[in-house]
Amino acid sequence: MARHRVLGTNSRVLVAAFGVMGVTALAAVWTAQAGTAEAGAGASPTTKPTPIVGQTSKPDPELPAPVVNMDIAHASDKGDKGVNITIDDGPDPTWTPQVLQVLKDNGVKATFCMVGPQAQAHPDLVKDVVADGHRLCDHSISHDTAMDTKSSAYQSKEILDAQRMITKASGGVKPLYYRAPGGAFTPYSRQIAASQGMRPLGWNVDSKDFEKPGVDAMVNTVKNEISSGPTVLFHDAGGDRGQTVEALRQVLPWLKQEGYGFGFPVR
């Protein structure tokens, strides 16, 4: 199982009054990152090491107090035979509806980790996700996989502005989780998220769908690694996600046959 870095932070300054960047500019930054990974010129936005299971730290008394657990979640609320399907980087007008249909066909609920400008651009899709009984997760504004090297003010802006965008797009339903782009968590970002009621969310199984390894490879990855832990990572944006749709179509029935149930990450 891969592991996230959990780095320290130099400053303890809460986000001040920032002007929100234009949606077009933010989307362009996010798209450029995704395009680089798609072209093979750099790492996938979600291939930093994943968070250490059981990683804990004491809340900083100088920051807002957490209202949910600030440790990185991996477990499923369905217990030892539970699986959490998580879908990152959307919503996307081409692929999110197809992912939603596969989930519906299999009676599976998932957690959608949304990028703020994507949610703002496609509020109808955010509402569709909520209407189908899935949960929302904050996946930042610009999908900056180097967030753990940036200032506390920058991290706050990325997290809190995305939370506002997603909540508005959903019609008032708040994200219940925060997943750092590429797993670039810090103790600061985890506490800021937890202070807003968003449990930091890791993963145990990376399907590697962002790299388009082929449907069989993705399905085999899930089959071979699901014993590592219940939270599985897929994507519904960042390029052609046709392989992801087909992999989900195959792997969800297999998980059921193996006696797994589908739940949500623990809160």
Which run of H or of E encompasses 234?
A: strand 231-235
**CA 60, CA 26: separation in Å to the nearest integer?**
30
Rounded to 5 degrees, what angle do the CA atoms 89, 92, 97 make? Answer: 115
**CA 55, CA 43: separation in Å to the nearest integer?**
24
**CA 188, CA 13: separation in Å to the nearest integer?**
10
Catalytic residue among 122, 134, 139, 235: 235
**CA 72, CA 75: separation in Å to the nearest integer?**
9
**CA 187, CA 182: separation in Å to the nearest integer?**
15
Active-site annotation holds for 235? yes
Q: Which amino acid is at 205?
A: V
**With the C-alpha atoms ordered 71, 228, 242, 127, is the resulting torsion angle positive or negative?**
negative
According to DSSP H, which parts of 7-144 are helical?
23-38, 96-105, 116-121, 123-131
The distance from CA 208 to its chain's CA centroid, rounded to whole angstroms, is 14
Among left, alpha and beta (phi > 0; psi -120 to 50; other), residue 221 is: alpha
171 near 130, Cβ under 8 Å? yes
Question: Taking the CA of residue 178 as centre, how many other CA atoms within 13 Å lie in the half-sphere pointing to its CB?
Answer: 34
Active-site annotation holds for 139? no
Catalytic residue among 4, 71, 74, 88: 88
**CA 65, CA 183: separation in Å to the nearest integer?**
22
- The residues that are catalytic are 88, 235
